[in-house]
Amino acid sequence: MGLEPERRRQLHAMKLRSLVGEHLAASVEDVVGTDDGASAQLSDGSVAVLAEERAHRGLGNALALSVRSPSDDIYLFAAQEGPVLARRAKLFEGSIEIFDVGKDSVLQAVPARPLTPIKAVSAPELIEVLKQAGLEVVQEHGVTVGEVAGLEVARIVSDDVGTRIEVGVGAHDREAFGLLHGAVPTPQAIEQVASVVRSHRLPGAEPHPLNRLGAERWLRAHLIAQPEKVGLSELVAVAPPIQRTNLKEAVPAVAMGRSPLGEVVVVCAVGIDLDLVPFAADARLLHSADADLMVVVPERDEHQILRDLAQRLVDSAEVVAVEDGWREWTRLSSVP
């Protein structure tokens, strides 16, 4: 039986207090436990954060706390993903120390290298099938998918059985569709699923799970179709700095574009996400460290904290707001 939420928060707070006492010179003045970890204000004005759950998101929270503190110094104790957090910490000004917290040890994390590019399986005929179906073809970390308004409806899969297109919204849907409709020709199968998704991602569609999933990728698809909305001349989808594990996980969507001044890495998100700026900076490091960085969110999500975190980057980033009614934009090739 799992711990009650309040008890979990108490344990997180106790753990952070203990870590600070053991490994830092400053003492805890105030500590707050959360479902994901804990945060503390220290006696020297710095902040300490424990990232116990969803540790890869811990840096954004720590930076946000630091904005309101008299010192820029941050100490982040991470139960997982310490090397990734250390890599991202190097992209920000000020002293940010990342500690790997193991079962029996606490060590300073060594920054991980950016992910090595993975080539997708060569399957030009299958890619053409996706294009002929009117889908947006996106390749990320060796995986090729066909999307409707940013939502995956088909994927090229290569295994011992061979290389083929599997149809469905996510892994479970692909499996179920294959069992129920395995004899349906691939183009027809794609159209069956794509038409359902299109009906829910049309301008004016009623709220539905199919237009809540992958909102950040939907926004990216619109900007790729109309890059002038953010002052760019062209835009193409590229991979995020970490691999997305499933369709329900909201991972900011990344693209590369051009402005009159040169290359731009664009990172799209929908909703409040304190980890957005560290993620975006990591995306720029992966694709083009010298490029400009643009973080794009709807107007209602354009909070001052995003600008504060963007200003703390060693290499600056621009926060750009698009209208809240972006879902009503047209001109998407996958939604005629």
Q: Cα(323)–Cα(281) distance, rounded to whole angstroms?
A: 23
Specify the number of domains making up the chain: 3
Based on the fold, state whether residues 101 and 23 are members of the same structural domain: yes
Percentage, residues of the chain above pLDDT 90: 82
pLDDT given for residue 330 in this prediction? 85
Tell whether the torsion through CA atoms of 17, 305, 239 and 207 is positive or negative. Answer: positive
- Assess if residue 208 is contained within a domain: no
Q: Which of 200, 232, 260 is the last residue of a domain?
A: 200
Q: Cα(276)–Cα(273) distance, rounded to whole angstroms?
A: 5
Based on the fold, state whether residues 243 and 186 are members of the same structural domain: no
pTM: 0.94
* Phi (first) and psi of residue 232, to 5 degrees: -110, 160
- Assess if residue 335 is contained within a domain: no
Q: Cα(58)–Cα(47) distance, rounded to whole angstroms?
A: 13
- Assess if residue 78 is contained within a domain: yes
Q: Which residue stretches of the chain have pLDDT < 50? A: 1
Q: Which of 200, 222, 257 is the last residue of a domain?
A: 200
Based on the fold, state whether residues 240 and 314 are members of the same structural domain: yes
Based on the fold, state whether residues 170 and 257 are members of the same structural domain: no
Based on the fold, state whether residues 10 and 101 are members of the same structural domain: yes
Based on the fold, state whether residues 93 and 132 are members of the same structural domain: no
Based on the fold, state whether residues 269 and 185 are members of the same structural domain: no
Based on the fold, state whether residues 99 and 20 are members of the same structural domain: yes
- Assess if residue 290 is contained within a domain: yes
pLDDT given for residue 8 in this prediction? 92
Based on the fold, state whether residues 312 and 288 are members of the same structural domain: yes
Other C-beta atoms lying within 10 Å of the C-beta of residue 327: 19
Looking from the CA of 221 toward its CB, the CA atoms found within 13 Å total 26
Q: Which of 108, 142, 163 is the last residue of a domain?
A: 108
pLDDT given for residue 2 in this prediction? 63
Based on the fold, state whether residues 234 and 315 are members of the same structural domain: yes
Per-residue burial over 37-65, b if 16 or more Cβ lie within 10 Å, else e, is: bbbbbbeeebbbbbbbeebbbbbbbbbbb
Residues spanned by the domain of 54: 5-108
Dihedral (Cα; 269, 150, 80, 83), 10-degree rounding: -80
Q: Do the beta carbons of residue 162 and residue 107 sit within 8 Å?
A: no
